[in-house]
Structure 1
Amino acid sequence: KTNLVFLKTHKTASSTVQNVIMRFGSTRNLTFALPIRGHIMGWPRLFRKSYVLQEDLAKKNTTYNILCHHMRFHHEHIRELIPDDTVYSTIIRDPVYMFESIFTYMWFDKQFGINSTEPLKTFLEQPFHFAKSGKRDVQRYRNPMLYEFGNMRTESDSDESIEFDIDRIEKIFSVVMIADYFEESLVLVKHTLCWDINDVTFFKINARKNESIRSMTADMAGKIRQWNRADAMLFDHFNKTLWS
């Protein structure tokens, strides 16, 4: 299968997956949907087809084989650019480790004005207070994985509404990789796309050095899952289905 949308998520080993996909597409002369500039498709705004570089297209109805750059998912606009038989895929990660990573990557401590030797621990003591003091909407700092899927979760969302969103994602995405089980997830990709084993060989891209990873207590991990309750439900669901 050669038609593929990969929702590239932040701090989930997605750059390594993107490298695999781009190598697959380039060796087969497939057509990529590329950003107008940089490496993102309008993120953090919801994806629009106008974010795709189209100046080299022969005609307006041209479609793409592969879309795999950073974006916030918007199914209706994506469908206008790809064939009907396109396979949708993405990758998620244990929200505890994902949030710790994005907290550092996005400089949340500086955005919140946290002056502490343990900024993540300080944030988790009063997450609502700090998130509301940030320069962006609270949704940018909470449930960042579900945010990539185009959702705007709030603290008042019920389990039922979150489960509705997860069900919608499951209906669209044939492959939801789990970064914590990366090699096992690549086996799933191989089987779903009918690729060769050589197509899914990989090198780690943009991996953090161990010394940059913050120490984590069980209490902090619990608070992260509580703060990112929707992401925790998302991860738990697809981590379970990976093995089913």
Structure 2
Amino acid sequence: MGPLSPTRTMCLRGPWSLGVALGIFMTIGFALQFWGGPFQRRVPGLQLQQPWAQSLEPAVPSCQPLQRLVFLKTHKSGSSSVLSLLHRYGDRHGLRFALPVRYQFGYPRLFQASRVKGYRPQDGDTQLPFHILCHHMRFNLKEVLQVMPSDSFFFSVVRDPAALARSAFSYYKSTSSAFRKAPSLAAFLANPRAFYRPGARGDHYARNLLWFDFGLPLPPEMMTKRGNPHLPREPTPRQLHVLPSGADPRAHTLEPSALFHPAATVADGHSQMSSPASLNVGSPSFIQWNLAWLDSVFDLVLVAEYFDESLVLLADALCWSLDDVVGFMHNAQAGGVHGRSTVSDGGLTAEDRQLTARARAWNNLDWALYVHFNHSLWARIKQYGQSRLESAVAQLRARREALAKHCLVGGEALEPKYITDRQFRPFQFGSGKVLGYVLRSGLSLQDREECERLATPELQYKDKLDAKQFPPAVSLPLKT
């Protein structure tokens, strides 16, 4: 038998060579699988994020993120939590805030542009623009537009007046003369005129606080000591979503107010309000006109009882990732029920139902606001897609839970007695204890920086931004 030809040699050796090659590749594959973690951690560009840090950002953004924002921070409506995410986003992206000299823009007086630190209209085009206006004020569109461009994204948040009344009574009892004189919220709402005096110091906290914060005209009975002695009746019912956040919206409905149904937008863009003389202040027509004006100004109004759903819609409207709106709850009081709906009568005692009805009737203008923006929120949810929203809300909550476990001692908010670091201790005000956060030890430098952004209370964060935008001048040494 003669020598094999090269072709036949290749044919005979092919399977053996292929087997050897496969064996080598399998060995390499097992080795990479075994050493994959350390190998990837050492080689730049191959690091694997920890499960808590998984990004929720879309793979390919289809729009440009909005960064000119006006947030009307309403009282006792979850607005401190929204402020926290705005602080964090602006800080991370190097945006410039329109800051108050102290912590509020002259509240309870109407907002004035002159109260913005560093605002100098005489500088004209040479003045650096502001990106975000978000601290406490009583809304005044004309003056806001002196500071922020008219194409800014305007948004705010509302809360059911019954829940807001409970929180405000606890928080502002020492500030409002009406609340201070009342032994309890139930006693106040049983006969509010015995305690409430229009124009008295701090009494704007005691009635229609949302309406006041939105800067809307007040009816005469809230401006003078002569008013209607009778408690206003609760409006005629119409359907309103009232479920706790995350529940099936088809399960239950409540019926408030045919009088206060949403009105059509009256104008495109942002226009300064001037009340028609033909409308009687406080009448249903006047209320509807004001709600229509708000629709023409505000691009989105969040609802505290559907906070996570509102955040998903906010991220979508701003073209932000869900990561940008994930945050911790701020300025919450121990024992509070923030985030759960108190509007549904299910599970409430007869006494609670009576208190709820009285709170809504006494705060009838706030109830009109709430009904209106609750309706508009669910209209947006329908447009966004119910199943799509539920999926996004689940992602948001999972991400928040993972961040809390990674960043926080105990994975949750703690009472102030446990918070020794003044950087994270929230301002204590009112009769309730305001909760805060303690960071876990052993965090990496990068993780600690992000966890600090999440846990820092609003007053400390405002000071941080202030120092960043207005660094103290360094004194030069004197010449000898």
TM-score by length of 2: 0.47
Equivalent position to 1:49, from 90, 105, 113: 113
Query: What amino acid sits opposite 2:295 in the alignment?
Result: E
- 2:130 and 2:201 map into 1 onto residues whose CA distance is 33
- 1:110 and 1:64 map into 2 onto residues whose CA distance is 34
SS in 2 for 1:36: coil
Give the share of equivalent positions with the same residue, in percent. 35
Deviation of 1:128 after TM superposition, in Å, equals 2.0
- Aligned pairs for 1:77-92 within 5 A: 77-92=143-158
Deviation of 1:79 after TM superposition, in Å, equals 0.5
Equivalent position to 1:102, from 168, 171, 174: 168
In structure 2, the partner of 1:199 is 324
Deviation of 1:55 after TM superposition, in Å, equals 6.7
- 1:35 and 1:128 map into 2 onto residues whose CA distance is 35
Structure 2 residue ranges without an equivalent (≥5): 1-65, 222-280, 339-348, 380-480
- 1:211 and 1:167 map into 2 onto residues whose CA distance is 33
Q: Residues 65 and 232 (structure 1 numbering): CA distance in 2 closer, same or farther, change over 3 Å? A: same
Query: What amino acid sits opposite 1:98 in the alignment?
Result: L
Paired residues in the alignment total 240
**More strand per residue: 1 or 2?**
1
Relative to structure 2, which stretch is displaced further, 49-58 or 138-147?
49-58
Equivalent position to 1:189, from 314, 324, 332: 314
Larger of the two Rg values belongs to structure: 2
- 1:78 and 1:142 map into 2 onto residues whose CA distance is 25
Describe the superposition over 1:90-130 as per-residue Cα deviations: whole angstroms up to 9, x where unpaired: 011011001111111111697235363xx111111211231
Deviation of 1:160 after TM superposition, in Å, equals 1.2
- 2:113 and 2:121 map into 1 onto residues whose CA distance is 13
Contact 1:95–1:231 (8 Å) recurs in 2? yes
Q: Is 2:99 the partner of 1:31?
A: no
Q: Residues 136 and 152 (structure 1 numbering): CA distance in 2 closer, same or farther, change over 3 Å? A: farther
Deviation of 1:134 after TM superposition, in Å, equals 7.6
Contact 1:147–1:153 (8 Å) recurs in 2? yes
Q: Is 2:72 the partner of 1:7?
A: yes
Contact 2:110–2:138 (8 Å) recurs in 1? yes
Q: Is 2:49 the partner of 1:22?
A: no
- 1:173 and 1:34 map into 2 onto residues whose CA distance is 21
Contact 1:5–1:89 (8 Å) recurs in 2? yes
- 1:183 and 1:211 map into 2 onto residues whose CA distance is 17
Equivalent position to 1:132, from 184, 197, 205: 197
In structure 2, the partner of 1:114 is 181
Structure 1 residue ranges without an equivalent (≥5): none
Equivalent position to 1:222, from 339, 343, 357: 357
Q: Is 2:227 the partner of 1:161?
A: no
- 2:135 and 2:150 map into 1 onto residues whose CA distance is 20
Q: Identify which of structures 1 and 2 has the higher relative contact order when contacts are C-alpha pairs closer than 8 Å and 6+ apart.
A: 1
Q: Residues 108 and 163 (structure 1 numbering): CA distance in 2 closer, same or farther, change over 3 Å? A: farther
Describe the superposition over 1:40-89 as per-residue Cα deviations: whole angstroms up to 9, x where unpaired: 11110000001110179993443311000000000000001112320001
The CA RMSD over aligned residues, in Å, is 2.5
Q: Residues 174 and 199 (structure 1 numbering): CA distance in 2 closer, same or farther, change over 3 Å? A: same
